[in-house]
């Protein structure tokens, strides 16, 4: 089975590094025109230079509705449409017991991780997908499917994003498919504090005995975005090396 996105236009948030960059790269290498977005122009240009395919870049803060609107409009104008939206951008400004989280950091986490995907999806729907159809892919987390740990506020946003995914899958059908990926611990700069101090020890608790790489998530994103998944919507694909089913993981 060939997984291709020929003739499709994709917009990926948080695309300058990590999972977002890996998704942008695999999309472009398999035929899509890709708009990369994140907060910093220089980082975006560097990322785009490392991709073999048709790309554009647009700097935007994923939690700012006005910047999101400008990015969606630029995608349609520069690339001729918008067929696939990947809501990947996220933030985690607070680490520690959720009960102690201060409101400014609590609000920022929800603004980017939950309100952000809603706003970007709403904009994509209005600008292109309501008329032409499309695919929305939300990058959630296994933390949204379990409990405990040091990033409870972040995990709350991902649990809500999973619920939003399923709700919008019903509302936007049949023209738009909406799915989510729930990665486990992936070796990115974003998650460095969770794995770098003791990678081997952390990986030893994962049934497949390794941590994830951004490419593991990107390959799944390609499947969900392309026509091979044309009868898949409202689903949450867990990609975690088996961690969620491992005894003692949490939940």
Please give the pLDDT value at position 249: 55
Total residues belonging to the chain? 251
Q: Residue 15 sits in a domain of what CATH number?
A: 3.40.50.720
Domain assignment of residue 4, yes or no: no
pLDDT at position 1: 75
State the total domains in the chain: 1
Q: Is this prediction's pTM over 0.85? A: yes
**pLDDT given at position 22:** 98
The token pair that represents 182 in the structure block: 């729930």
* Amino acid 251: pLDDT: 44
Per-residue model confidence (pLDDT) at position 42 = 97
Residues 6+ apart with CB under 8 A from 71: 11, 35, 37, 58, 60
Element (H, E) at 21: helix 18-29
Strand runs labelled E in the chain: 9-13, 33-38, 55-59, 84-87, 134-139, 176-183, 236-239
> For residue 10, which of 189, 229, 224, 211 has the smallest C-alpha distance?
224
- For residue 2, being part of any structural domain is answered with no
pLDDT of residue 165: 98
Domain housing 43:
9-245
CA 181/CA 164 separation, integer angstroms = 13
Active-site hit among 58, 120, 154, 195: 154
3 lies in some domain: no
d(CA 47, CA 43) in angstroms, rounded, equals 6
Beta strands in 19-106 (DSSP E): 33-38, 55-59, 84-87
The most distant pair of C-alpha atoms in the chain lies apart, rounded to whole Å, by 50
Separation of alpha carbons 235 and 115, rounded Å: 20
**41 within a domain of the structure (yes/no):** yes
How far, in Å, CA of 82 to CA of 189, rounded?
29
pLDDT along the chain (251 residues), means of 10: 94 97 98 98 98 97 98 98 98 95 98 98 98 98 91 97 98 98 87 66 85 96 98 97 78 44
**Is residue 94 flagged as an active site residue?**
no
Instruction: Tell me the two tokens of residue 18.
Output: 């990590």
Q: Which two tokens stand for residue 110?
A: 């929800």
Contact (CB, 8 A) for 5 and 30: yes
Please report whether residue 250 resides in a domain.
no
Domain assignment present for residue 73? The answer is yes
Distance CA 217, CA 213 (A): 7
Q: Please report whether residue 204 resides in a domain.
A: yes
Q: For residue 148, is it within any domain?
A: yes
């Amino acid at each position: 089975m060939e997984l291709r996105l020929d003739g499709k236009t994709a917009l990926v948030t948080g695309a300058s590094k990590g999972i977002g960059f890996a998704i942008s790269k695999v999309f472009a290498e398999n035929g899509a025109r890709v708009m990369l977005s994140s907060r910093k122009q220089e980082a975006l240009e560097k990322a785009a230079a490392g991709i073999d395919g048709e790309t554009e870049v647009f700097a935007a803060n994923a939690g700012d509705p006005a910047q999101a609107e400008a990015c969606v409009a630029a995608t349609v104008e520069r690339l001729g449409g918008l067929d696939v939206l990947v809501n990947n951008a996220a933030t985690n400004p607070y680490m520690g017991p959720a009960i102690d989280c201060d409101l400014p950091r609590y609000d920022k986490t929800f603004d980017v991780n939950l309100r952000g995907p809603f706003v970007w999806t709403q904009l994509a729907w209005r600008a292109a997908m309501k008329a032409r159809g499309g695919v929305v892919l939300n990058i959630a987390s296994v933390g949204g499917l379990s409990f405990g740990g040091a990033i409870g506020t972040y995990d709350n946003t991902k649990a809500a994003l999973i619920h939003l995914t399923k709700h919008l899958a019903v509302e936007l059908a049949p023209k738009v498919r909406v799915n989510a990926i729930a990665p486990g611990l992936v070796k990115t700069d974003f998650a460095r504090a969770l794995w770098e101090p003791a990678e081997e020890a952390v990986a030893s608790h994962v049934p497949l005995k390794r941590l994830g790489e951004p490419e593991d998530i990107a390959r799944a994103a390609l499947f969900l975005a392309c026509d091979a998944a044309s009868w898949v919507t409202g689903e949450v694909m867990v990609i975690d090396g088996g961690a969620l089913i491992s005894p003692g993981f949490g939940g």
